[in-house]
Structures are given as structure tokens and as C-alpha cells.
A and B are shown apart, each in its own frame.
Chain A
Amino acid sequence: MNKGLKDRITLYKSVKRKEKYTGYLLSLPLLSVTVLVVIIPVIWLLLMSFTNKTIGSPSTFIGLANYFSLFRDDVFWKSVTNTLKFSVGSVIFQLLIGLAVALIINGSGIVKLVTRSLIILPWAIPGAITALVWLWMYYDINGVINYALRTLGLIQKDILWLANPTWALTAIIIVNVWRITPFVSIAIIAALQNIPHSLYESSALEGATTIKQFFFVTLPNLKSVIFTLILLCTIWSVGEFQIIHVITKGGPANATQTLATLAYEVGFRGSRLGQSVAISLAILPVVLTLILIISHFLKKAVT
């Protein structure tokens, strides 16, 4: 064997041996950031929930007292139910509407192209800002939604969107669906464009109708993206704060209070931080389970 080549191979091998350390070294900055601002806080979160920490005063260990008082608290259980209703309601409509929109705006033609590039905007602009315009549209004085419904003859009397408990929850679900659906659609479109065209051609040759193609070609190929989106949308809905905080602040009478907004209320209005972390910890198991399922599926992307 040629000597120069041999030298190069030994050099290459020694480089490969060093790879292990270089790999750690290069990911070290990211690791330290995540440890500092995510992992330590999560551990802190656990520890704080066993104390009676309030803003501006030291804490003492009180064991499980925070949890016991939560379990006896009606507002906490109401928030659990609301979080569930809000998340389930949101995710179902986000996925269904998102899929329908994706199927409609996928394809050629200038109209669809423009729609595809613009539709992401409701998701891209700050949620707190769009929540403000929804608040104005729902408003009991001159809200445009009531005006439109009245003009179309759908209602006789104005709906008190934000004063009626049922309507208030519906109202924030609508906003959440409006905001996340574009993301769902774009993700589904990306997957749709990845389905080999030959599948449609061969199924058409065998006489499959458009509807049959949808169920036997399109849907099976979208399975994994839809599954991931369900988990992702659930995590986002469970943790949603800005929309609810801007539009209803958890009201009326806690009708839209979720675990996220209740944790904020108790922690920063009531300044009982210990109690408040115990509330937000109720989200953790749900979220972690969902994330672990996602990461199990995404592992294939790494290897």
C-alpha cells in the first residue's frame, strides 16, 4: 500500500478516536444552558412544592401540606376539568380543521400557493396580540361577532361571550383553534407533498375513486405526522396561558381557569409560590408522558 495513503488513514483513525470527546465538547454549551434554565428549575419546582414559600419571605418545609390543601380546593378541581375540556376541545378541532384545510390548499394554482404562504401568519404573530383583537371581537359593547351573528339572523339576543361560563370557555377554545390550526395544516401539507405520486397513479389505474384514495393512500401516509401533531397540540393546549390571560383572566367565576392560569393567580396575585408550584406540577406528569411518546417516535430521526 502507498505510504502517503497509510499516513492519512492513521491520521483519520486518530481523529475518529477523538470524536467522542469532541462530540461532548461541542454539545456542552447547549447542555449547560438546558441544565441551568430547565433542569435545575424543574428540580427546584419539585422541592418548592414541599414548602410554604411566599414572595419575599424564606420558606419552611411543610411536607405534602400544599398537595392536601389542593385536593380539598374546589377551584383546583374546576381548573383540572377546565384544562381537560379546553385541551380536548382544542385538539379535536385543530386536527380536523387543520386536515381539511391542508387537503384543500394543497395543490397547484396561484390561489392555493398564496393561501399556503399566508395561512401561517395567525400562528406566527404574537399570541397575546391576536388574543387582544379576539377580545375586542367578542366584546359585549360593539363586538363584531355578535353583530355579524345578529345580521345573519342566527341569534336574536347578543351572546355574552365573556360573561357566560359556557360561552367563555367556547370563546377561548375558538381562539386557540384559530391560532394553532394553520401550523397543523402546514405540517400536514409538508407530509402530503412527500407522498410519492406514483401511489396515486397506480391506485387510479386500479380504479380507485378520489375518496378511496384518501382513505387508502393519503391517510395511512399521514398517520405518523397526525399522531405527532395530536401530542404536540395537546402539550400546547395544556400549557396555554397567554390567550386565557389576555381574554378572560380565568373568569367569569373561574369558568375558564386552567392549571396554568390558576398557578399564576395563586403565585403572583396571592404570592403563595409553594402552593402555586404544586398546581403547575399537576401538569407535569401529563406533559411528560406525551413528550416521552413523541421522543420515542422522533428517535428514528437521530439514528
Chain B
Amino acid sequence: MTQKVGRFRPRLTSFLAILILLVFFFPLIWMLVTSIKPHDLIYSSNPFDFSHLTMDNYFKVLHDTSFIRWIINSFIVAVVSTFISLVVSIFAAYSFIKFDFPGKDSIWKGILICYLLPTSLLFIPLYTFITKLGLFDTYFALILVYPSFLAPFCTWLLYGYFKSIPSEIEEVALLEGCTYTQCILRIVIPVAIPGIISTGVLALTLAWGEYIYALVFINTNLLKTLPVGVASLEAGDVYSWGPIMAAAILSCIPPTIAYLTVQRFFLKTNIFLSLGR
């Protein structure tokens, strides 16, 4: 009896859950289906005709386009900018928890504002900034700019995670004469590794999918990141949907794996909860 309290009928809701999953996954399924259809089936009058399937689209996209270069570019940019953001935010999140200093609240508020400011607002001034620095059309443009949203994001998540770590261990270490830097490197980071990894993975997926900065700051085809590169295949108007969807599937694989592996940490750190407080 108590099991049922506050819950709707389990069988009906399980059925509805499957339905919801199907609706939300249909575009992704359609992406996969199109990617393994040959050209003539994609343009046949019945979209649900799966009489013969092929992997040609994948070979085509890997062979005819700069897809592999785009992956490498996205990877470099995402990893470097995430690393910078993580380092910066580990220190900041720690300082927000352990210290009381004047202006802390306003700094925290300021960082939140920075995270929430839409990128579509900042891209024009950042564009002039990047060109002034001579970084237009280089990796450095994106590596410099991505921490603008990654660092506040990481600080926010890490703050919640660090807070859940009991502070007794560090206090003992401090009493024994440990410096704060030593304390962070030897105690806080090792204890917080799960939280740091999951934050890093989430930041990687954000950087991986970023669109507007990558669109505006990069001009050379070989330097494009994955989302911009793949979207530009469509804008070409000559490319068929098969290879485009194959490219889309390939770009979805890394973030999918990333999310499914950190899921455990993700729910444990309960980042969404910090939203509601």
C-alpha cells in the first residue's frame, strides 16, 4: 500500500514512458535510418522502405569531406578549453566554499550572469576582440572564448560537489601546517575526482556542440569544428541527405558515450537540484 502512495498506476505509466522515449528518440532514429539508406531509397516515395541498406554514406562522408579534420579540430578545442576551465574553476569553487571574503556574493552573482548571458549576444564584440588580437581563423580564438561559458558552468557544478565533501580532513591538514595550495592538490582534488571528471565530461560536451562562436570565428574549411562543418554540408545544397545524416550520427557518438558513462555521477552530484534552491 505504501509503495503506491503518491505514484500513478505503474503499468500505464511504464507504457507511457516507452511512448515518450519513442517520440523523443524518433529524430535520432530517423537520423540513423537515413544514414544507412542508399540514395535511391532516400528519394523513393515511401520513406519507410528499407529493402536494401548500405554503409556507403559513411565511407562517402569520411572520404569526400574534411570530416576527420573537423573531428580533430573539435577534439583539440574542446579538450584544451575544458582543461583551462576546470583548473580555473576548481580554485574558484574551493575559495567560494572555504573562505569568507568581502564581495564574495557579488562575484558569485557575476559569474552566474556570465554563464547565463546568451552567446548570441557576445559573439559580435568577441569577434572584433579576436580580430584585434590577430586570432581570427585559429584554434586559439575558440580556446580563448570557450572558457567564457565553460568556466562558470564548471564552477557552478564543482561548487555543489565540493560542498558535499566533509571539511574535517582539510581542517586537520591545515592545523598540521598544510598550505591551501597543498591542501587543494593533495586532499580536495583526490577526494573530488568523481565530481571533477563528471564536470569535465559535461563541459566537453558543451564545447563539442558549441555553434555560433565556431561559425563566426573560423573561416577556413579545414579549421571548422564538427557542428559547423557538418551543417555546412547542407548549406552546400548539392550534398545528399544520406552522407549528411551519416556525419550527424558520427558526431553524436562521443557526447552520447560521455553522457551515458557519467550518468552515475551526474545523478549523484544532483546538479539540477542546485538550480532549484
List residues of chain A with CB under 8 Å of any chain B CB: 8, 11-12, 15, 19-20, 22-27, 29-31, 33-34, 37-42, 44-45, 48, 53, 101, 103-105, 107-109, 111-112, 114-115, 117-122, 124-137, 139, 141-142, 144, 147, 178, 181-182, 186-187, 190-191, 194, 197, 200-201, 204, 210, 213, 217-218, 224-225, 228-229, 232, 235-236, 238-242, 245-246, 259-260, 263-264, 267-268, 273, 276-277, 280, 283-284, 287-288, 290-292, 294-295, 297-303
A303 smallest CB distance to B (angstroms)? 7
Return chain A residues, CB-CB under 8 Å to B205.
Answer: 124
Contact call B96/A27, Cβ cutoff below 8 A: yes
In the assembled complex, B248 has its CB within 8 A of some CB on chain A = yes
In addition to A42-B117, A264-B212, 18 A-B residue pairs with Cβ atoms within 8 Å of each other are A26-B95, A30-B88, A34-B114, A34-B148, A38-B148, A104-B13, A105-B20, A107-B8, A126-B208, A126-B251, A128-B227, A130-B27, A142-B43, A181-B24, A186-B272, A225-B272, A260-B121, A291-B112
Chain A: minimal CB distance from B131 (Å) = 8
Give the Cβ gap from A267 to chain B, nearest Cβ, in Å.
5
- What's the least CB distance linking A97 to chain B, in Å? 9
How big is the B interface, by class? 35 or more
The distance from the CB of A204 to the nearest CB of chain B, in whole angstroms, is 5
**Using a Cβ cutoff of 8 Å, how many contacts connect chains A and B?**
330
Determine the chain B residues whose CB is within 8 A of the CB of A48 once the complex forms. 124-125, 128
Contact B6 A197, beta carbon cutoff 8 Å: yes
For chain B, residues 1 to 15, give those with C-beta under 8 angstroms from any C-beta of chain A: 2, 5-8, 10, 13-14
Contacts known (A30-B151, A187-B275); A112 close to B13, Cβ less than 8 A? yes
CB-based contact B114/A122 at 8 Å = no
**Cα distance A291–B121 in the bound complex, in angstroms:** 14
Given the interface pairs A22-B95, A132-B234, A142-B47, the reply to whether A115 lies near B21 with Cβ below 8 Å is yes
B91 engages A103 (CB within 8 Å) = no
Q: Taking CB as reference atom, which chain B residue is nearest A190?
A: B272
Which of B57-65, B189-197, B255-263 sits within the interface? Answer: B255-263
Q: When the two chains form their complex, are residues B125 and A44 in contact, meaning their CB atoms are under 8 A apart? A: yes
* Interchain CB contact under 8 A, A38 and B122: yes
Residues B17 and A213 in contact, CB atoms below 8 Å apart: no
Residue from A27, A130, A142 within 8 A of B91 (CB atoms): A27
Given A104-B20, A117-B260, A129–B248 Cβ distance below 8 Å? yes
Q: Which of A34, A101, A197, A225 contacts B111 (CB 8 A)?
A: A34
Q: Which residues of B contact A181 (CB under 8 A)?
A: 24
Which of these, A22, A128, A141, contacts B180 with CB under 8 Å? A22
* CB–CB B121/A283 < 8 A: yes
B258 to chain A, nearest CB (A): 8
Contacts of B110 in A (CB 8 A): 34, 39
CB pair B251–A15 under 8 Å, yes or no, is no
Q: Are B209 and A126 in contact (CB under 8 A)?
A: yes
- For residue A196, give the distance in angstroms from its CB to the closest CB of chain B: 11
Q: Is the CB–CB distance between B147 and A33 below 8 Å?
A: yes
In the complex, chain A residues whose CB is within 8 Å of the CB of B126: 37, 41
A241 to B216, CA, bound (A): 12
Contact of A44 among B5, B94, B129, B272 (CB under 8 A): B129
The answer, among B18, B118, B129, for a CB contact under 8 Å with A287, is B118
Across the interface, do A144 and B113 meet the contact criterion of CB distance under 8 Å?
no
By the criterion CB–CB under 8 Å, are B100 and A23 in contact? yes
Given contacts A132-B248, A187-B275, A210-B6, contact A42 B125 (CB under 8 A): yes
Task: Assess whether A302 is in contact with B96, with CB atoms less than 8 Å apart.
Answer: yes
Given A224-B277, A291-B112, is A133 in contact with B248 using a C-beta cutoff of 8 Å?
Answer: yes
Instruction: Please give, as numbers and ranges, the residues of chain B lying within 8 Å of A53 by CB-CB distance.
Output: 128
CB neighbours (8 Å) of A117 from chain B are 260, 263
Choose one: B30, B108, B113, B228; the contact of A291 (CB below 8 Å): B113
Whether B121 lies near A45 (C-beta < 8 A) is yes
Q: Tell me whether B270 is interfacial, beta carbon within 8 Å.
A: yes
Q: Name the distance in Å between B192's Cβ and chain A's nearest Cβ.
A: 15
CB atoms of B104 and A23 under 8 A apart: yes
- Contact among A108, A182, A280 with B124 in the assembled complex (CB-CB below 8 Å): A280
